[in-house]
Amino acid sequence: MPSVTDLIRPDIANLEAYTPIVPLDVLAERLNLPVERIVKLDANENPYGPSPQALAALAAEPYYAIYPDPEHTRLRAMLSDYTGQPVARIVCGAGADEIIDLLLRLLLQPGDVVLDCPPTFGMYAFDTAVCGGRLVQVPRRADFSLDLPAIEQAAAETQARVLFITSPNNPSGNLTPPTDIERLLKLPLLVVVDEAYIEFAAYQAPEAERRGDIGVSAWVGRYANLVVLRTFSKWAGLAGLRVGYGLLTEELAAHIWKIKQPYNVNLAAQVAAQASLQDLEYLQANIGRIVAERERMLVALAQLPWLQVYPSRANFILCRVLDGDALHLKQALERQGILIRYYHKATLRDCIRISIGTATQNQAVLEALARWQVDRLE
């Protein structure tokens, strides 16, 4: 018998393994700190967690021994109220991540091209590779806006099937103006707008949202080639339960239903998401706290002359370390139990991304940054 690797798809066999995140308890042990002392600001999670109603609904659910609803009937009905889109244009997944995977499995044949615009979320590249596609990257401009002519050129040259646009973008935090998206929707490809963080941009901007200046979910159905991704991981604090959704045309949805695992969204996730949609006032108040803290952090970080701070409409802030070693900074914070994200790639060098935590956690970050600066100069 030859190596079993010979039985594996060669493109997967040659794929580089990704580095999994270290679970909180393992990390706490490694750092020799109690888990409660860890200030986890490296994955844009919600520091306030789920709504109490979601936790109560999880505890009260009597049917965990029964398979969950494969059509997510109740959740989709509630999402229809939440988004203003008809139920037939909503598909739920185990996180927005699963919708990315389903879309690419639906669209890609070996070698087909996917476009994304780095620096951006890594799952588009990951799923493209797993699905046998070819990723072509069109870097963002220095201010992280999209380079529209370059995208149009790449689309024409590669006959790309899909374009991913993240708005607000992770890790840069900026929104893409809907007018840019409107222009890109003229391209002969599927435009997937990932709005995982849109609730933080839309907070207290109902007028702008109504005008369509923030997100593009209202356009789903009007454009045959538009998909919008959303999630409960960020604004609703359910990252650990894995529940997200896509807004897409009935035509595309019909094909997704054919390839989706029937029980892709587990019962706990459905129960918690439904209860969250019934507790919007509570969750909106937490979004408000996060947005207020983001604004405070933007000002406080901008006081540090060795940091370049980028504006953000999401629940995190990207900073470039202008003087000093960004990796060293990340590691120094980690030793104190503060976790942030470090970037050092061709499209993003010497950068850190700090998720917005509670006021106490954010204060700990500011103090640790001030200490690092003093230690470094001594």
Give the footprint of ligand PLP on this chain (CB under 6 A).
44, 95-97, 121, 166, 170, 194, 196, 231, 233, 239, 244
Our CB check for ligand PLP shows the closer of 164 and 372 to be 164
Q: How far is the CB of 283 from ligand PLP (least distance, A)?
A: 15
Calpha distance 107→125 (Å, rounded) = 15
Our CB check for ligand PLP shows the closer of 43 and 136 to be 43
Q: How far is the CB of 376 from ligand PLP (least distance, A)?
A: 30
Q: How far is the CB of 175 from ligand PLP (least distance, A)?
A: 12
Instruction: Outline where the chain has alpha helix (H).
Output: 10-13, 24-31, 52-60, 73-83, 96-107, 123-130, 148-158, 178-184, 198-202, 206-211, 250-259, 267-277, 280-302, 326-335, 359-377
For residue 265, which amino acid is it?
Answer: V
Q: How far is the CB of 243 from ligand PLP (least distance, A)?
A: 7
Nearest residue to ligand PLP, scored by beta-carbon proximity: 95
Calpha distance 376→221 (Å, rounded) = 55
Calpha distance 53→58 (Å, rounded) = 9
Our CB check for ligand PLP shows the closer of 40 and 376 to be 40
Our CB check for ligand PLP shows the closer of 311 and 324 to be 311
The SS3 assignment for 6 reads: helix
Our CB check for ligand PLP shows the closer of 44 and 83 to be 44
Q: How far is the CB of 305 from ligand PLP (least distance, A)?
A: 29
Cβ-based burial of 133 (10 A; exposed 0-12, middle 13-18, buried ≥19): buried
The SS3 assignment for 59 reads: helix
Our CB check for ligand PLP shows the closer of 85 and 233 to be 233
Calpha distance 270→268 (Å, rounded) = 5
Our CB check for ligand PLP shows the closer of 197 and 372 to be 197
Q: How far is the CB of 14 from ligand PLP (least distance, A)?
A: 26
Q: How far is the CB of 178 from ligand PLP (least distance, A)?
A: 17
Our CB check for ligand PLP shows the closer of 228 and 365 to be 228
Q: How far is the CB of 217 from ligand PLP (least distance, A)?
A: 14
Contacts of 370 (CB under 8 A, 6+ apart): 304
Contacts of 255 (CB under 8 A, 6+ apart): 106
Calpha distance 199→336 (Å, rounded) = 31
